[in-house]
């Protein structure tokens, strides 16, 4: 009997690829195991076994698998089912999904090099036969490649052996690639036992009286390890005692200290002394009961709870229940909300049962969380993670919480898979037969609509915890510059007045401005020219701090100009404003206040936002200026005032969701004010205080907003009434992308008639030297989505077969956001 496997490869080709295996390999290969396979003339890819069968491919001769990389599957059946759903629903390949799902360290090169571990001599008697053969070979040859090992052992299944050799510290491998198997070793020291008695320590300190630095180290060690004399981390010791590595080495050489390497996880867990969760108040208790009741009828429930109503504490109660049943919980959050605030809160309740997963983690850290979730012995039962944590290898989920479910950052734009983590979570939960709770103070129209249609359950919380009133929201008209409404820079008198008062009371202020940089447009007063990005069709944004002009789409930057590029006039002006300018103005207006800024420019690096959030929490900042990063579920005790510098630019953004989003942003950022005791104050500066959205924000009238927006969506055939698929074509040659997009739209019209819009150039028609054209297909609820997609795939295939269009990139975006 012949055996074959179908393999998912990390490439954007729709199909699976078939390879041949031997009967003995067939006896232990399973779906979800990785294999290294040859591809094309010379490439080797890491792929994932999708299934095993006896059908030889007809179109080509199946090649043999090079290596088998796992003993047991690293991806389970449920995950593969989810991958298939994503690939079908979001119209991408399984390879696309695999690349997004697996930490990149899993997709390893097959050229990995193994070397002997020279740091440590090991006792060869502990090696099994196969391990010994490899170890022996390394005595004569400095390094071995994986396929050398394969030859020596005459098997393709070499990874398990390598893994065992690493565990026995006999060999080392290429850092990056095999990080997965390499425990991280942390260096510890402890006092040599002769000195651990009171007397011993006394005489040691006397002996060291001539070596004050060494003496200091011993004193510090003693204070850190206390009476137990347990080992202390060398990094902690040198920080605390300010000792150099030489000083510590001298103590080791003298035999006063002993060193150890202790294996630890890279991902640190703290807060091991767990606390009991809080007692809920009546509103929360009722909501909790209603959620449980609703789960009897619905798999998905929407919790609409105003800002600071205490949704998190309700989640905690639900989580307690699920883990008591021995099941896992996935708690999804937007990236930014995954800061110390919520992490600490959950860790105080659940300790090591919480694993964190966010995109700023290195691939090694991701692997660690992955293995932690995969292992049934692991303590981690709750994963707190951003978008991509839907891909972790859960085997027994009981509940998924999607907090801030309205957040658009749950949808991945680029690259494929262009999935929405909230909607994917609902599917993931249903495969596990688990429940999903969506939570928000400003639900997406999609979810609220589903709740109204009784597709989702619905629970409401209308009071803030502690009965703190919702913030008082005042609209400040900045159009009328006569009367009393003078402006100082971008600050109205009203705003200055309120900030002054809040600062006098030692409370804090948040100022929201939706654009970063200093000003989005620099314009010549003589000829009107404004500097543009050479790669994109946008004006460059002025960043005063770096004295640069920068493109926010491709990162292009240049030094700020002294004179106009077009006419040489020195009379340059800046139009519009960003966070940098607000920060500068506020510093001039309030020279004694401590001011900080939170936007993409100030939060790079792993702990970028964490630092600012902690500083605000600890009241080291009086005024924080920031972009929408400020809106994501943060909880501060002493913020009294929120100022929205300009409501109009977000309302006028050219997108059918602009009004919904503006409402959500403004309500969310307002929700940061007055959360604990006293009622907060919000000032919204606008040229158009009678805009319905602003009226709805100021009265916190979600339902009104919902009804009105739904009306528009209905009239203009937008989601959630209609589904839509956006097709984007890209090419560096404008004429080519235009011809191609006209062809594509015409073919689509043949199938779908006037449900097809476009092709149209988006507001920014060229990005990174690629011209874009968009085509929109609107799909009524009663039209079959899968049939529609089938037709689009057919059109796309025929498009790809046209030689002239081959270099045009086609992007399919289902449920585009
Ligand atoms: P939301 O997520 O709805 O915006 P939070 O869960 O952050 O609200 O709660 C708002 C504030 O109220 C937090 O500081 C939280 O610690 C506090 N809080 C909420 N519920 C309780 C409770 N049952 N007991 C004590 N404090 C609570
Ligand atoms: Zn000019
Ligand atoms: Zn650019």
Query: Domain containing 791: what range?
Result: 723-814
Q: Which residues make beta-bridge pairs with 472?
A: 681
User: Considering only CA atoms, which of 153, 165, 150 is closest in space to residue 115?
Assistant: 165
Both 657 and 587 in a single domain? yes
Q: Are 291 and 314 in contact (CB under 8 A)?
A: yes
Atom 9, ligand 1: which residue's CA is nearest? Answer: 310
Residue of 312, 404, 630, 700 to mutate, ligand 1, most atoms within 8 A of C-beta: 312
3-class SS at 26? helix
| Mean pLDDT, residues 47-67 | 90
User: Residue 485 has what pLDDT?
Assistant: 60
- DSSP symbol at 420: B
pLDDT in tens, 476-524: 998 866 555 678 989 999 999 999 999 999 999 999 998 888 788 899 9
Separation between Cα atoms, residue 438 and residue 302, nearest integer Å: 5
Both 768 and 675 in a single domain? no
Is 181 a residue whose pLDDT tops 50? no
Both 316 and 451 in a single domain? yes
pLDDT bracket for residue 271 (50, 70, 90): very low
Q: Give the Å distance between the CA of 550 and the centre of ligand 3.
A: 8
Question: Is residue 549 domain-resident?
Answer: no
Q: Give the Å distance between the CA of 772 and the centre of ligand 3.
A: 14
Is 19 a residue whose pLDDT tops 80? yes
pLDDT bracket for residue 262 (50, 70, 90): low
pLDDT bracket for residue 267 (50, 70, 90): low
From the CA of 764, which ligand is nearest? 3
Structurally, how many domains does the chain consist of?
Answer: 6
Q: Which of 209-218, 377-386, 750-759 has the highest mean pLDDT?
A: 750-759
Q: Is the ipTM of this complex over 0.90?
A: yes
Question: Is residue 360 domain-resident?
Answer: yes
Which ranges of 326-420 does DSSP label H, i.e. alpha helix?
A: 340-350, 363-374
| Mean pLDDT, residues 237-259 | 85
pLDDT in tens, 584-617: 999 999 999 999 999 888 887 767 788 888 888 8
Is 382 a residue whose pLDDT tops 90? yes
Both 688 and 727 in a single domain? no
Length of the chain: 817
From the CA of 767, which ligand is nearest? 3
Cα-to-chain-centroid distance, residue 570: 44
Separation between Cα atoms, residue 139 and residue 122, nearest integer Å: 13
Report the share of the chain in percent with pLDDT over 70: 93
Both 450 and 498 in a single domain? no
Both 84 and 34 in a single domain? yes
Which ranges of 375-514 does DSSP label H, i.e. alpha helix?
A: 421-431, 445-452, 493-504
User: Residue 87 has what pLDDT?
Assistant: 95
Name the region of 394 (left: φ>0; alpha: ψ -120 to 50; beta: rest). beta
Residues with CB under 5 A from ligand 3 (ion): 533, 535-536, 551, 553-554, 556
Secondary structure element (H or E) that encloses residue 542, with its range: strand 541-543
Is 25 a residue whose pLDDT tops 50? yes
User: Considering only CA atoms, which of 471, 511, 513, 476 is closest in space to residue 493?
Assistant: 476
Residue of 288, 304, 309, 310 to mutate, ligand 1, most atoms within 8 A of C-beta: 310
Angle between helices 129-140 and 159-167 (to 10 degrees): 80
User: Residue 344 has what pLDDT?
Assistant: 84
User: Residue 53 has what pLDDT?
Assistant: 94
Q: Which of 11-20, 96-105, 134-143, 558-567 has the highest mean pLDDT?
A: 558-567
Nearest atom, ligand 1, residue 305 CA: 3
Is 772 a residue whose pLDDT tops 80? yes
Question: Is residue 562 domain-resident?
Answer: no
**Lowest mean pLDDT across 177-186, 196-205, 452-461:** 177-186
- Number of separate helices (H) and strands (E) present in the chain: 26, 37
Locus of tokens 């008639």 = 753
Nearest atom, ligand 1, residue 306 CA: 3
Separation between Cα atoms, residue 127 and residue 120, nearest integer Å: 15
User: Residue 227 has what pLDDT?
Assistant: 53
State the DSSP string of 558-615: EEPPSS-TTT--S-EEEES--HHHHHHHHHHH-TTS-EEEESTTT--STTHHHHHHHH
Q: Give the Å distance between the CA of 647 and the centre of ligand 3.
A: 26
* Six-digit token string for 15: 């199909």
Q: Binding site for Zn(2+), residues?
A: 524, 527, 533, 536, 551, 554, 564, 567
Is 437 a residue whose pLDDT tops 90? yes
Pairing of strands 143-145, 113-116: antiparallel
Among the candidates 401, 431, 464, a domain finishes at 464
Both 485 and 459 in a single domain? no
Is 15 a residue whose pLDDT tops 80? yes
Is 222 a residue whose pLDDT tops 80? no
- The answer to pTM > 0.90 is no
Among the candidates 108, 134, 151, a domain finishes at 108
Separation between Cα atoms, residue 679 and residue 656, nearest integer Å: 33
Q: Which residues contact 361 (CB under 8 A, 6 or more apart)?
A: 267, 369
Domain of 128, CATH number, reads: 1.10.10
Cα-to-chain-centroid distance, residue 453: 31
- Mean pLDDT taken over the chain: 88
Question: Is residue 530 domain-resident?
Answer: no
Separation between Cα atoms, residue 109 and residue 72, nearest integer Å: 19
Atom 15, ligand 1: which residue's CA is nearest? Answer: 310
Q: Give the Å distance between the CA of 311 and the centre of ligand 1.
A: 7
pLDDT in tens, 640-676: 999 999 999 889 888 899 999 999 999 999 988 887 7
CA neighbours closer than 13 Å in the CB half-sphere of residue 578: 23
User: Residue 626 has what pLDDT?
Assistant: 92
Both 620 and 630 in a single domain? yes
User: Residue 574 has what pLDDT?
Assistant: 85
Nearest atom, ligand 1, residue 281 CA: 23
Q: Which residues make beta-bridge pairs with 304?
A: 440, 460
Question: Is residue 188 domain-resident?
Answer: no
Q: Give the Å distance between the CA of 568 and the centre of ligand 2.
A: 6
Question: Is residue 542 domain-resident?
Answer: no
Question: Is residue 261 domain-resident?
Answer: no
Both 221 and 317 in a single domain? no
Angle between helices 129-140 and 146-153 (to 10 degrees): 130
Question: Is residue 389 domain-resident?
Answer: yes
Both 430 and 292 in a single domain? yes
C-alpha angle 72-182-380 in degrees, rounded to nearest 5: 65
User: Residue 620 has what pLDDT?
Assistant: 92
Q: Binding site, residues?
A: 524, 527, 533, 536, 551, 554, 564, 567
- 38 against 417, higher pLDDT: 417
- 757 against 259, higher pLDDT: 757
Both 173 and 309 in a single domain? no
Q: Give the Å distance between the CA of 540 and the centre of ligand 2.
A: 15
Both 656 and 742 in a single domain? no
Handedness of CA 108, 114, 120, 121 (dihedral sign): positive
Domain of 43, CATH number, reads: 3.40.1440.60
Angle between helices 282-297 and 311-324 (to 10 degrees): 50
E strands, 351-471, are 354-357, 382-385, 397-403, 435-440, 457-461
pLDDT in tens, 325-359: 999 999 999 887 777 778 888 988 998 899 989 87
- 29 against 360, higher pLDDT: 29
Secondary structure element (H or E) that encloses residue 82, with its range: helix 77-89
| Mean pLDDT, residues 426-448 | 97
Is 767 a residue whose pLDDT tops 60? yes
- DSSP symbol at 249: H
Q: Are 135 and 170 in contact (CB under 8 A)?
A: yes
3-class SS at 266? coil
List the 541-543 sheet strands across, edge first: 541-543, 548-550, 557-559
**Ligand 1 pocket residues where CB is under 6 Å:** 278-281, 284, 305, 307-313, 465, 635, 675
From the CA of 563, which ligand is nearest? 2
Q: Give the Å distance between the CA of 553 and the centre of ligand 3.
A: 5
Domain of 381, CATH number, reads: 3.40.50.300
């Amino acid at each position: 009997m012949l055996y074959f496997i179908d393999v998912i490869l990390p490439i954007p080709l729709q199909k699976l690829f078939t390879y041949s295996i031997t009967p003995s390999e067939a006896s232990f290969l399973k779906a979800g195991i990785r294999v290294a396979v040859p591809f094309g003339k010379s490439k080797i890819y890491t792929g994932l076994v999708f299934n095993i069968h006896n059908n030889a491919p007809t179109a080509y001769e199946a090649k043999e698998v090079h290596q088998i990389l796992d003993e047991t599957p690293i991806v389970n059946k449920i995950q593969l089912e989810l991958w298939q759903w994503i690939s079908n629903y979001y119209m991408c390949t399984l390879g696309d999904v695999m690349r997004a799902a697996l930490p990149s360290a899993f997709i390893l090169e097959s050229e990995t090099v193994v070397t002997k571990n020279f740091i440590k001599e090991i006792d060869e008697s502990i090696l099994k036969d196969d391990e010994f053969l490899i170890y022996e070979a390394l005595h004569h040859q400095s390094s071995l490649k994986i396929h050398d090992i394969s030859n020596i052992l005459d098997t393709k299944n070499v990874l398990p052996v390598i893994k065992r050799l690493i565990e026995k510290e006999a060999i080392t491998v290429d850092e990056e690639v095999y990080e997965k198997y390499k425990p991280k070793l942390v260096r510890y020291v402890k006092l040599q036992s002769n000195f651990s008695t009171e007397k011993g320590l006394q005489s040691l300190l006397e002996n060291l009286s001539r070596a004050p630095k060494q003496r200091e180290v011993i004193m510090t060690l003693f204070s850190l390890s206390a009476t137990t004399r347990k080992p202390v981390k060398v990094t902690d010791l040198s920080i605390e005692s300010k000792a150099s590595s030489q000083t510590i080495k001298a103590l080791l050489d003298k035999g006063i200290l002993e060193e150890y390497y202790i294996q630890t996880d890279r991902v640190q867990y703290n807060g091991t002394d767990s606390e009991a969760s809080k007692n809920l108040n009546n509103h929360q208790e009722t909501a909790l009961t209603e959620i449980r009741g609703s789960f009897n009828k619905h798999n998905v429930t929407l919790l609409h709870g105003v800002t600071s109503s205490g949704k998190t504490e309700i989640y905690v109660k639900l989580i307690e229940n699920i883990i008591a049943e021995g099941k896992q919980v996935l708690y999804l959050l937007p990236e930014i909300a995954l800061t110390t605030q919520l992490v600490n809160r959950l860790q105080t309740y659940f300790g090591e049962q919480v694993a964190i997963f966010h995109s700023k983690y290195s691939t090694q850290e991701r692997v660690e969380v992955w293995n932690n979730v995969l292992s049934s012995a692991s303590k981690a039962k709750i994963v707190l993670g951003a978008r991509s944590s839907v891909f972790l290898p859960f085997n027994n989920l009981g509940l998924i919480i999607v907090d801030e479910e309205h957040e658009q950052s749950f949808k991945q734009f680029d690259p494929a898979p262009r999935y929405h983590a909230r909607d994917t979570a609902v599917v993931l939960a249903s495969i596990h037969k688990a429940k999903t709770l969506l939570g928000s103070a400003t639900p997406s129209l999609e979810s609220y609509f589903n709740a109204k249609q009784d597709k989702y359950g619905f629970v409401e919380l209308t009071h803030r915890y502690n009965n703190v009133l919702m913030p008082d929201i005042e609209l400040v008209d900045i159009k009328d510059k006569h009367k009393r409404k003078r402006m100082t820079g971008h600050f109205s008198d009203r705003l200055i007045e309120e900030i002054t008062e809040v600062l006098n009371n030692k409370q804090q202020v948040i100022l929201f401005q939706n654009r970063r940089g200093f000003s989005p447009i620099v314009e010549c007063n003589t000829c009107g020219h404004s500097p543009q990005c050479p790669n994109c069709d946008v004006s460059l944004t002025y960043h005063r701090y770096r004295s640069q002009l920068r493109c926010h789409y491709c990162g292009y930057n240049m030094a700020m100009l002294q004179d106009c590029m077009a006419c040489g006039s020195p009379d340059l002006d800046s139009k519009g404003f960003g966070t940098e300018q607000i920060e500068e103005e506020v510093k001039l207006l309030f020279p004694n206040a401590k001011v900080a800024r939170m936007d993409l420019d100030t939060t790079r690096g792993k702990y970028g936002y964490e630092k600012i959030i902690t500083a605000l929490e600890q009241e080291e900042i009086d005024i924080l200026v920031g972009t929408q990063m400020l809106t994501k579920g943060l909880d501060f005790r002493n913020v009294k005032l929120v100022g929205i510098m300009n409501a109009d630019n977000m309302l006028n953004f050219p997108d059918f969701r602009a009004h919904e989003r503006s409402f959500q942003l403004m309500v969310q950022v307002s929700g940061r004010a007055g959360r604990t005791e006293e009622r907060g104050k919000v000032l919204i500066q606008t040229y158009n205080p009678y805009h319905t959205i602003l009226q709805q924000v100021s009265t916190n009238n979600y339902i009104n907003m919902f009804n009105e927006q739904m009306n528009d969506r209905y009239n203009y055939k937008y989601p959630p009434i209609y589904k839509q698929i956006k097709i984007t074509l890209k090419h560096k040659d404008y004429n080519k992308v235009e011809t191609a997009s006209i062809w594509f739209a015409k073919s689509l019209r043949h199938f779908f008639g006037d449900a097809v819009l476009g092709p149209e150039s988006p507001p920014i028609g060229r990005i990174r030297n690629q011209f874009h054209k968009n085509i929109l297909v609107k799909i009524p609820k009663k039209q079959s989505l899968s049939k529609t997609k089938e037709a689009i795939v057919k059109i796309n295939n025929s498009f790809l077969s046209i030689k002239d269009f081959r270099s045009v990139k086609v992007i399919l975006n289902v449920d585009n956001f």
